[in-house]
Amino acid sequence: MARQVTERERKGGDQVQSLIRALTLLNRLAEATEEGSTLTDLAQQVGLPASTAHRLLATLEQERYVRFDQETRLWSVGVQAFVSGCAFMKTRNLVSLARPYMRSLMEDSGETVNLATEDEGQAVYLAQVECRQMMRTFARPGSRVPLHCSAVGKALLSAVSEKQLAKILHRHGMPRLTVKTITAPTPLRADLDRVRAAGYAVDDEEHAVGLRCIASPIFDETGDVIAAVSASGPMARIGDERVAGLGGSVLETARRITAQMGGKPH
């Protein structure tokens, strides 16, 4: 015999539904590209009657999460949403947020995983999760590698503007580290086009002989690149047949870290 829903349970369910609807309205306002949104537009976007949308917006307005302009009749995000966002920004730490995903990638791939960011035209390693293999790569946090010949570097370069790219190459040049290092802007730009298409960069012994590395960019809430995550190991283990599969895993890891950071893909 089916159990009857109690009045408390029904009210609880209604409250959860109202909360979800209110948050959906707040999210739509956050995504708006104009000065604000009308009640009619908001209600249509979330699929609610205008009266219901107005009731929820009025509640959010009381707590200052949204604001209503009497002159323009437009709703927009309120100051309390900004305060809450700033609280998140204070506690957000890229390394600590990324590390669980880095460890998962290491376990799945069996290869060493690195996290790096750009600083002064170079890639700086922020963290590493070493694999359990006898042969493994090592990059001490704080160590630097050139952008043009490392997978993390090319992943970072793939998401910058042409003006930024030209500035970096002009300032730092493209020194040759191995016989496979790309040392001219035109082939590098072609390689970066491939990175954008695939979602991941590949370093085929361009930085160090015998090593292969695959990396993908991580983005912040504005869509700007802030870091890159990579998996690296000896060519003997990361053969040509593994590149696509490992590249997909690295790309998925970068997407998960981006999402965890509250970021937006480029």
DSSP string, 125-185: EEEEE--SSSS-----TT-EEESTTSHHHHHHHTTS-HHHHHHHHHHH----SSTT---SH
Match 């750009």 to its residue by tokens.
118
Would you state the pLDDT for residue 167? 93
Fold of 7-88: Arc Repressor Mutant, subunit A (1.10.10)
The DSSP output letter for 192 is H
- pLDDT mean across residues, the chain: 88
Residue 132 class from Cβ within 10 Å (0-12 exposed, 13-18 middle, 19+ buried)? exposed
Would the pLDDT of 8 be above 70? no
Q: How would residue 31 be classed by pLDDT, with cut points 50, 70 and 90?
A: confident
- In whole angstroms, what separates CA 172 from the centre of its chain? 27
Residues in the chain: 266
Q: How would residue 1 be classed by pLDDT, with cut points 50, 70 and 90?
A: very low
Q: Domain residue spans in the chain?
A: 7-88, 92-260
Domain 92-260 in the same topology as domain 7-88 = no
Would you state the pLDDT for residue 92? 60
pLDDT digits (tens, 9 = 90+) for 165-195: 999 999 999 999 999 999 999 999 999 999 9
Residue with the larger pLDDT of the pair 152 and 81: 152
Would you state the pLDDT for residue 16? 84
CB 112 within 8 A of CB 233: yes
The model scores a pTM over 0.85:
no
Fold of 92-260: Beta-Lactamase (3.30.450)
